[in-house]
Structure 1
Amino acid sequence: MAGYAAILPAKTSTGVLLVLLLLGDAFALWSYRKHAHWPTIVKMAPAVVVGLALGGVFLALADDAWVKRVIGVVLLLLLAFTFWQRRRRSHPVADVTPISRGASVGYGSLGGFTTMVANAGGPVMSMYFLSARFPVHAFLGTAAWFFAVINLTKLPISVGLGLITPATLVLNFWLAPAVVVGALIGRWITARIQQKAFDGAVMVCTALGALYLLI
């Protein structure tokens, strides 16, 4: 997600990627809809709404350079915080570790903000799920429902801000097959990947995306 903000102008990438994300959400729900951890979604919902509102205001005022810098810094800080939390906890990975109300509010508001600003809420919420030590399928099922709802909520906001246009929809048409192929490959990998390798891949991809935005 952060990669689109790095390749395209940050604001343009927001509209293009949102439509692709909705397509990806459909595949994710098809594959992992039964594995969601609903208490997590309900707990974070109010903070996410606040983050979405703040992100909409920021997106209307900030230029592309600021969008990239802010998202990059946020991702690096959350990566460091998540790594620290995981090091200090020793719960088995088979259990979801309870997260404090303050941490839930922080992750939720930042998740809403970053997903509104640059569709970069995925890495933020990934750090939350890793901090809580979600098993692979619970991670993917919770994320699938969470972002399906969030992205549908963002759709009219993005249209109103002029981020989704006929030109961006044409680009979506050409990129959609890649999303379908990627979703199928991801489903194949998920059925075979070990928990430790999955967690490591998420953290590495988040770090690389954040650094690319800052460079």
Structure 2
Amino acid sequence: MWFYITAIPAVFFYGMGKGGIGGILGMLSVPLMALTVPPIKAAGILLPLLCVMDVIAYYYHRKNCNYTILKSMLPMALAGIAIAAYFMGSMPSNVVELLIGGLAMAFLAQTFLIKSTKVDNPIKGHLLNALSGFASTIAHAGGPPVSMFLLPKKLPKEQLIGTGVVFFLVLNFTKLIPYAYVGELEFENLITSAILLPVAFLGVRVGVLLVNIISQEMIYKISYIVLFFAGCKMLYSGIVGF
């Protein structure tokens, strides 16, 4: 019972993020579910749901993806997945949380205080995309690095959402390989994922409906606000983990 009290809102919020309302909203899902089950089990239950939500979101947003930018993002992101697969299960999750939280705060400080974000720094971009693949594999927390890469480009809201949707579609289906290898796609977890599937459908649909009535400025504001709170949460969890 307690598991579903945390899992239902976690999956719903992730679905809303997939629908377009703040792509990093889903960062809250694994920590929320981890209140009742081990984090790696929570991630294993979520992954099949993420793949289903990605397919639904792809149907709505596929035409808006900036495929030129996507092609530049994927090679290093896939490399990040490969690196994470090697360390999967051995790297403390709080170390990953500290790294991502610190980067999120550094990005926000640079954007709003220093005002000197360089959009076309290829080395920085490659590192952010690799970090996204790595963090997405360890804890489904690849949203902040992608936001740090995409937000400074000031894309139209449709392209911002569409590019993120297709990016994570590729990443999440690729992640099925290491998750299956470490045994987190076992029958029990898949049954739990199937039970939560209607919540995932509902979350994505709500996100899609809302994104059609919310302005581009509001989408960016939501993304920055969620990035701030997610970064704070990850920093706190990382520090407490020590």
The answer to whether the 8 Å contact 2:104/2:227 transfers is no
2: CA distance, partners of 1:138 / 1:151: 20
Work out which of the residue numbers 10, 16, 20 in structure 1 matches 2:49. Answer: 20
> Counterpart amino acid of 1:6?
P
Provide the C-alpha distance between the structure 2 equivalents of 1:28 and 1:79, rounded to a whole number of angstroms: 28
- 1:157-172 equivalent positions in 2, closer than 5 A: 157-172=178-193
Task: Give secondary structure in 2 for the equivalent of 1:99.
Answer: coil
Per-residue deviation, residues 79-119 of structure 1 (Å, max 9, x unmatched): 432552466269xxxxxx95221121111111110111111
Distance 1:139 1:83, change over 3 A: farther
CA separation of 1:171/1:80 partners in 2, compared to 1, >3 Å: closer, same or farther? same
Aligned partner of 1:88 among 90, 115, 127: 115
Residues 83, 193 of structure 1: alpha-carbon distance in 2 compared, 3 angstrom cutoff: farther
- Partners of 1:36 and 1:138 within 8 A in 2: yes
Measured in 2, the distance between the counterparts of 1:153 and 1:60 equals 17
Q: Is the contact between residue 35 and residue 137 of structure 1 (CA under 8 Å) also seen in structure 2?
A: yes
Compute the displacement of 1:2 (Å).
2.4
**Structure 1 residues 179-215: Cα deviation after superposition (integer angstroms, max 9, x where no partner):** 1111111111111112222112112222323333434
The aligned residue for residue 43 of structure 1 is 72
Comparing 184-193 and 125-134, the one that deviates more:
125-134
Q: CA deviation at 1:123?
A: 2.9
Q: TM-score, normalised by structure 2?
A: 0.77
The alpha carbon displacement at 1:176 in A equals 1.2
Segments of structure 2 that go 5 or more residues without pairing to the other structure are: 1-25, 238-242
Name the residue aligned to 1:200: 221
Q: Give the % identical residues.
A: 23
Where in structure 2 are the equivalents of 1:109-188 lying within 5 Å? Answer: 109-188=130-209
Whether 1:77 aligns to 2:103 is yes
CA deviations 1:35-60 (Å, max 9, x no partner) are: 11112111122211221122112223
* 2:19 corresponds to: none
CA distance in 2 between partners of 1:51 and 1:36 (Å): 22
Contact 2:30 2:43 in 1 (8 A): yes
Gaps of at least 5 residues in structure 1 are 91-96
Give TM-score scaled by structure 1 length. Answer: 0.86
After superposing on structure 2, the runs of 4+ consecutive aligned residues of structure 1 that deviate more than 4 Å are: none
Residue of structure 1 in register with 2:23 after alignment: none
CA root-mean-square deviation: 2.1
Return the offset for 1:141. 0.9
Q: Check 1:79–1:193 CA distance in 2 against 1; reply closer, same or farther (3 A cut).
A: farther
